[in-house]
Structure 1
Amino acid sequence: MTVLTLASGSTIRATLLRNAGVEIDIRPARIDEENLRESLLAEGAGPHDIADALAEHKAMKIAPHAPLVLGCDQILECDGRIFAKPDTPQDALAQLDALRGKTHRLHTAAVLYAAAQPVWRHVATPRLTMRHVSDAYLQAYVTAQWDHIRHCVGCYQIEGPGVRLFERIEGDLFSIQGLPLIELLSILTLRKDIDG
């Protein structure tokens, strides 16, 4: 089995891969995501393409240093607006308020590099509809969960209490968590990077 280098510091992605039996090495790629995202927006790129480009830049940054590298990114889009990770609990509250009662899309991208060349890419786009939760519930949720949601686009973790925010989910749970795992495992098996 080939060791997969994850160009991300995401603990949930690492956990998903380890739980699937994939041997990983973690090397977070340091790229200027905000400037790259703004540049792509200025060029007219949509959220699908932005997620894909950010994932590729992360993989590309680490690819010269490892034989098999996975870059990932996730963009949340609602009503034509792209959301970033919150800086403060107040930002999180404002984002959740903007998502309340609406359906949003998570563009979850993964790009695989082998021998410093891109060999596979995939963008999954699950749709999530948030319930009309009360202001008091949102405030209590952000206060209790801030340490867990501060690094999450959308300010929720579907694998925890954040699931209570939703009335409908379309798409697979792995992609909502930030990794199109089933599709990735398929290509890794096909390439014989993992047994199967």
Structure 2
Amino acid sequence: MPESPLSFVLGSSSPARLTTLRRAGIDPFVLVSDVDEDAVVAQALQAYGELAPDDLALLLARAKCEAVSSALLAGDGIEDAPESALVLGCDSVLELDGQMHGKPADAAEAVERWRQMRGRSGVLHTGHWLIDDRADDAGGTGATLGAVASTTVHFAKLTDEEIDAYVATGEPLRVAGAFTLDGLGGPFVTGIEGDPSNVIGLSLPLLRELLAEVGVAWAQVTS
């Protein structure tokens, strides 16, 4: 009989990331971190100065992954949580004209964002951080490592009416960059350069590479 896949924890509330993993054969345990993103960014700015968009994405991915890993190791009464697992944290940031954008704060910000993006191109950076919390007798390495995947996204020339209608669906308020590739925003993306799964929120090729660095083959986490 084939061995059961290794336990895998996704430290993200993103339905798109969860769906991406499941479609690729990974069925993770989901545990959302309680990280105060504003506090993490403020502390980093004070320590290091201005951050590049890709550095910000990796910083937040690491903070989320470490928070989830700590919660699991502390055994904070998390029901059905695996005791020995690989933990992944992610965060996405859209770079446009050197400026970084996460989720819009409200509909007005989403409308203004789309008026800036239409007919132009941006770069979607997704930070990935992986912690190997497997037990020693299960091959655990204790490794903690991360990387960023970046994909160029080309946006259609939307009319004001199209922008208003799209924002009214509420979808742009729930995602970094105020757009999706796999949802209602799909018709407004004319092309991409790079990994499409990264635009959805999680780069499967990059995840495979990170797993390989801790000695885990892709087949070991899929069912």
Relative to the length of structure 1, the TM-score reads: 0.89
CA drift of 1:11 comes to 0.8
Q: Distance in 2 between matches of 1:98 and 1:124?
A: 23
Distance verdict in 2 for CA 1:151–1:70, change over 3 Å: same
Q: Distance in 1 between matches of 2:185 and 2:178?
A: 8
Q: What is the aligned residue count?
A: 194
Quote the residue 2:199 is aligned against. Answer: 176
Q: How does 1:4-15 map to 2 (within 5 A)?
A: 4-15=8-19
Match for 1:45 among 46, 51, 65? Answer: 51
Q: Does 1:194 align with 2:201?
A: no
Kindly report the root-mean-square deviation, in angstroms, between the aligned alpha carbons of the 2 structures. Answer: 2.0
Q: Distance in 2 between matches of 1:41 and 1:82?
A: 14
Match for 1:121 among 146, 163, 177? Answer: 146
Segments ≥4 residues shifted beyond 4 Å:
none
**Identical pairs, percent:** 28
Q: Distance in 2 between matches of 1:55 and 1:104?
A: 20
**Which range moves more in the overlay, 7-16 or 37-46?**
37-46
Quote the residue 2:76 is aligned against. Answer: none
Distance verdict in 2 for CA 1:23–1:160, change over 3 Å: closer
Relative to the length of structure 2, the TM-score reads: 0.79
Match for 1:160 among 180, 183, 189? Answer: 183
Q: Distance in 2 between matches of 1:182 and 1:103?
A: 23
Match for 1:139 among 155, 164, 167? Answer: 164
Aligned to 2:21, the other structure's residue is in SS state helix
5+ residue gaps in structure 2? 73-82, 135-141
Which structure has the bigger radius of gyration?
Answer: 2
5+ residue gaps in structure 1? none
